[in-house]
Structure 1
Amino acid sequence: MTKTVFITGASSGIGKASAKLFQEKGWNVVATMRTPEKESELNLLDGVLVARLDVQDPQSIETTVEAAIARFGRIDVLVNNAGYGLYGVFEAVPRESIQQQFDVNVFGVMDVTRALLPHFRATRAGTIINVSSGAGHFTLPMISLYCASKFALEGFTEALSYELLALQIGVKLVVPHGGVAETSFQLRSAADFAQENMPTDYRPFLDRSTAAFARMGGALTMTSRDVANVVHEAATDGTSRLRYFVGDDARGFVQARSEMADQNYVDFMRSHFA
């Protein structure tokens, strides 16, 4: 029987690349996004259902899960990919923006997962793949809220994997790090967001951080397709592996986090922004 993957945030970047790759591999694909009426590629592919899903709208989640099961009979893999990064010094970011960051990156993942768990329990099968970030392992200034959301996602996913193991439901993390070329995530200036209410005391640090981010993102080579290949690997390798890192650690952040003593790691990271 043809397997089916359910992907959130499939309108661009990693989500869209994953949808295309799974379709090429012969899967049925439920490609969800907030504005499916704007999609002009995925809806032309055989075996692809393009559907509206806003992770901040629980009704859209329930409706689309039901439509996906009705269309394909079952769902085998959930890829929680929808997410975004909030920029700005913490003091200048409004509470409403912080709430939205967690609504999308954490609570949205939980809501989509909860909606599919009854189906996975009924079939005693299924794999949940959450797309995380290097920012869920090491932290950087100007994206403290994004880091906080991804640290929360990492903790939730790891704990959930223990809960679902006895039900034959796999839970995995794909962790891109080092920057994805098409999304230019690292290249967005830290100065783009939350400047209006930023105390001027932060200006010297903001300038240094912006320059540091530009140096770090100067030679991005990883593509969304590269990450999609790892998502597909996680979905098909038949293992209980939890984390799949993908990216260039030329900066040494991942290695530093895993190998250095705590204070040595903190000093190493601070040196990039001093």
Structure 2
Amino acid sequence: MIKTILITGTSSGIGRAIATYFSERNWNVAATMRKPDKETELQHLKNIKLYPLDVVDQNSIQTAINDIIKDFDKIDVVVNNAGYGAVGIFEKSEHKDIQKQFDVNVFGLMNVTRYILPHFRKNHNGTIINITSVGGRITFPLYSVYHGTKWAVEGFAEALQFELKPFNIKVKNVEPGAIKTDFYDRSQELFQNPEIADYDDYEKITFANTQKAGKDAPGPEIVAKTVYKAANSKSFKLRYPVGPSAGLFLMLRKLIPLSWFTKMVSSVVERGYDKQ
């Protein structure tokens, strides 16, 4: 029987790569995005059908899930991919910036998860895959709010797995390191406050260093391959780091004292900044 996967945030980047990868492997793909009427490519691929879904609009989530079940009879896997990065100096942020970041990256993910659970419980089967980040377990400067959302999702998923295991529902976190997508461009929002200038030199240098990591990174296909592995796994393994940098950073974070790890991060991300 052909399986069906629901993916949020498929208009670009990792979400689009996942949709394409699963389509090529003969899965039914419910590719969701806020404005599917503007999409011109995905709907022409085999086994892909587009649905409007905004993770901050609970009515759109319920409608999309109902329509997908009506079209494909069953949903086997949900990939919580929709998200973006609100980055920059924390003092420059405003309440609305932080609220929006958590609304999309955390509460939106929880909304989709909550609405799919009755279907998974009924079937006594299902897999929830969250696209988190290596930044859900380690941190870098300028990403305090973004990290807050990813750490929240990591904790949420780690606890949720206990509740869902009796129903044979698997929870999996795919944790990419730096990936070359529009996350470092269109999918980032930089906090702006011209009245606060004291951080300007620090922000300019650290932001340039972090952007370089994205430009030198592998493409989103590497994430799609890991999601495919997680979706087909019969195990209840929770975490799937993606990319050599992710595995290395997470291993070092476990093995060395936090003070050493912090200095290591500083030496890379703050390179070129005169702290004097």
TM-score bracket relative to the smaller structure:
over 0.9
How has the CA–CA distance of structure 1 residues 266 and 229 changed in structure 2, closer, same or farther, with 3 Å as cutoff?
same
Partner of 1:212: 209
Residue 110 of structure 1, CA deviation? 0.4
Partner of 1:237: 233
Partner of 1:50: 50
- Aligned 1:102-141 pairs, distance under 5 A: 102-141=102-141
Residue 20 of structure 1, CA deviation? 1.1
Q: Which is further off, 247-256 or 55-64?
A: 247-256
Partner of 1:193: 190
2:70 maps to amino acid: A
1:182 maps to amino acid: T
1:149-174: CA deviations, max 9, x gaps? Answer: 00001100111111111110000010
Where in structure 1 are there 5+ consecutive unaligned residues? none
How has the CA–CA distance of structure 1 residues 71 and 134 changed in structure 2, closer, same or farther, with 3 Å as cutoff?
same
Partner of 2:78: 78
Q: 2:265 aligns with which of 250, 262, 269?
A: 269
Partner of 2:143: 143
Residue 251 of structure 1, CA deviation? 10
2:44 maps to amino acid: L
Partner of 1:182: 181
Looking at structure 1, the residues matched to 238 and 93 of structure 2 have their Cα atoms a distance apart, in angstroms, of: 33
Partner of 2:250: 254
Residue 217 of structure 1, CA deviation? 4.0
Looking at structure 2, the residues matched to 43 and 17 of structure 1 have their Cα atoms a distance apart, in angstroms, of: 14
How has the CA–CA distance of structure 1 residues 143 and 125 changed in structure 2, closer, same or farther, with 3 Å as cutoff?
same
Partner SS, residue 37 of structure 2:
helix
Moved over 6 A (4+): none
Q: Note if 1:20 corresponds to 2:5.
A: no
Looking at structure 1, the residues matched to 17 and 87 of structure 2 have their Cα atoms a distance apart, in angstroms, of: 25
Looking at structure 2, the residues matched to 234 and 110 of structure 1 have their Cα atoms a distance apart, in angstroms, of: 20
How has the CA–CA distance of structure 1 residues 75 and 139 changed in structure 2, closer, same or farther, with 3 Å as cutoff?
same
Q: Note if 1:227 corresponds to 2:226.
A: no
Residue 21 of structure 1, CA deviation? 1.1
Q: Is the 8 Å Cα contact of residues 241 and 247 (structure 2) preserved in structure 1?
A: no
1:181 maps to amino acid: K
TM-score by length of 2: 0.91
1:106-137: CA deviations, max 9, x gaps? Answer: 00000001000000000000000000011111
Where in structure 2 are there 5+ consecutive unaligned residues? none
2:179 maps to amino acid: V
1:9 maps to amino acid: G
RMSD (Å), alpha carbons: 2.0
Q: Note if 1:87 corresponds to 2:87.
A: yes
Residue 197 of structure 1, CA deviation? 4.2
1:220-240: CA deviations, max 9, x gaps? Answer: 2x1111110100000002211
How has the CA–CA distance of structure 1 residues 204 and 230 changed in structure 2, closer, same or farther, with 3 Å as cutoff?
same
Looking at structure 1, the residues matched to 238 and 254 of structure 2 have their Cα atoms a distance apart, in angstroms, of: 16
Looking at structure 2, the residues matched to 119 and 75 of structure 1 have their Cα atoms a distance apart, in angstroms, of: 8
Identity fraction in percent: 43
TM-score by length of 1: 0.92
Looking at structure 2, the residues matched to 58 and 85 of structure 1 have their Cα atoms a distance apart, in angstroms, of: 22
Q: Which is further off, 37-46 or 145-154?
A: 37-46
How has the CA–CA distance of structure 1 residues 124 and 87 changed in structure 2, closer, same or farther, with 3 Å as cutoff?
same
Q: Is the 8 Å Cα contact of residues 86 and 101 (structure 2) preserved in structure 1?
A: yes
Partner SS, residue 201 of structure 1:
coil
